[in-house]
């Protein structure tokens, strides 16, 4: 079968993955949810194009990727500033744009943030496994071939569509500034009672920094310590954003590709609406935790979910 409408991966960069909204309801089988670690940027990339929320996009981490446009199309970029260029001309972030047949789209190392999302009108036509196209390398699910990142020579097809004559941009008030100090709101869980008062206080009074050990499974924080309870735990299900504390006292905030069960003590969860900021944080960036207001955060999350149509 001849594919007429597609873009080609020329250089895949450090880690370039197909992601839709994720793979849910399968954690009891040990299968991770996957999906965009910055679902705010992912959702805006689709929203700017008028796509429904679950359309597959390309998650580009650390840039250094290049694509060849084989058929004219309308695309959108949102998330970290990877200095995107079309035939050498800079593109606006958080915006749609037209790409013509034969043009080359490039992404460089991040100037702000860590990863960006490239969406196309109507979504990319990619296979689904267990109801999702999201790539989870550990589970060997999603993407074009069993959970592998995109490779040079891969082609991503799409349906031919009408191309708008002007771009659509996100208003400034909604654009996150990834250079601002990172403050994560915490909803404490039942295991917080196993931590000493001093240990809990240390989570909120100390400054941490993002370590070199970061990926789509989670972010390990260093620089300060939180004393973990001297107690063994049975493994149990792990929620998105859970803050595990290792025996050495380093907090780990777990993200989309996290293991589905674990036995480290958990002091609580980072609020869902704060996780996209963490997912854009680079090693060395400073992080602080504050207690979150559960009802207030639920209300804000509800507004966010209704706006994007989750």
Alpha-carbon distance of 35 to 42, in angstroms, equals: 9
Alpha-carbon distance of 63 to 113, in angstroms, equals: 11
User: Are 203 and 171 in contact, with CB atoms under 8 Å apart?
Assistant: no
List Cα–Cα distances, 33 to 8, 19, 176, 266, 308, in angstroms.
27, 11, 25, 20, 19
pLDDT of residue 4: 78
Stretches where the chain sits below pLDDT 50 are: none
Residue with tokens 């001093």: 198
User: Any idea of the CA torsion for 9, 12, 16, 20, to the nearest 10 degrees?
Assistant: 10
**Mind listing the domains of the chain with CATH numbers?**
6-174 (no CATH), 182-308 (2.40.100.10)
According to DSSP, the residues that pair with 270 across neighbouring strands are 186
pLDDT of residue 217: 96
Helix (H, G, I), strand (E, B) or coil at 172: helix
> Which residues, 6+ apart, have CB-to-CB distance to 111 below 8 Å?
81, 82, 83
For the question of whether the overall pTM of this predicted structure is more than 0.85, the answer is yes
């Amino acid at each position: 079968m001849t594919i007429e409408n597609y873009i080609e991966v020329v250089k895949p960069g450090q880690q370039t993955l197909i992601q839709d909204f994720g793979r849910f309801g399968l954690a009891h089988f040990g299968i991770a949810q996957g999906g965009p670690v910055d679902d705010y940027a992912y959702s805006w990339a689709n929203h700017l194009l008028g796509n429904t929320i679950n359309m597959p996009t390309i998650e580009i981490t650390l840039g250094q990727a290049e694509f060849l446009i084989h058929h004219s199309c309308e695309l959108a970029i949102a998330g970290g500033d990877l200095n995107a260029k079309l035939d050498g001309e800079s593109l606006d972030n958080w915006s749609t744009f037209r790409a013509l047949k034969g043009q080359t789209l490039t992404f460089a190392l991040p100037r702000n943030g860590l990863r960006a999302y490239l969406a196309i009108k109507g979504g990319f036509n990619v296979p689904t496994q267990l109801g999702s196209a999201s790539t989870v390398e550990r589970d060997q699910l999603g993407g074009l071939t069993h959970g592998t990142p995109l490779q040079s020579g891969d082609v991503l097809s799409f349906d031919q569509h009408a191309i708008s004559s002007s771009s659509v941009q996100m208003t400034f008030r909604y654009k996150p500034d990834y250079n601002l100090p990172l403050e994560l709101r915490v909803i404490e869980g039942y295991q917080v009672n196993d931590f000493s008062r001093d240990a809990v206080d240390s989570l909120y009074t100390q400054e941490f920094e993002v370590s070199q050990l970061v990926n789509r499974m989670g972010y390990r924080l260093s620089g300060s310590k939180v004393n973990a309870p001297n107690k063994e735990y049975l493994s149990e299900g792990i929620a998105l954003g859970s803050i595990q504390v290792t025996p050495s006292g380093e907090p780990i905030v777990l993200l989309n590709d996290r293991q589905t069960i674990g036995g480290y003590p958990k002091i609580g969860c980072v609020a869902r609406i704060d996780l996209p900021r963490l997912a854009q944080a680079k090693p060395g960036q400073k992080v602080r935790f504050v207690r979150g207001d559960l009802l207030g955060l639920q209300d804000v999350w509800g507004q966010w979910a209704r706006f994007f149509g989750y």
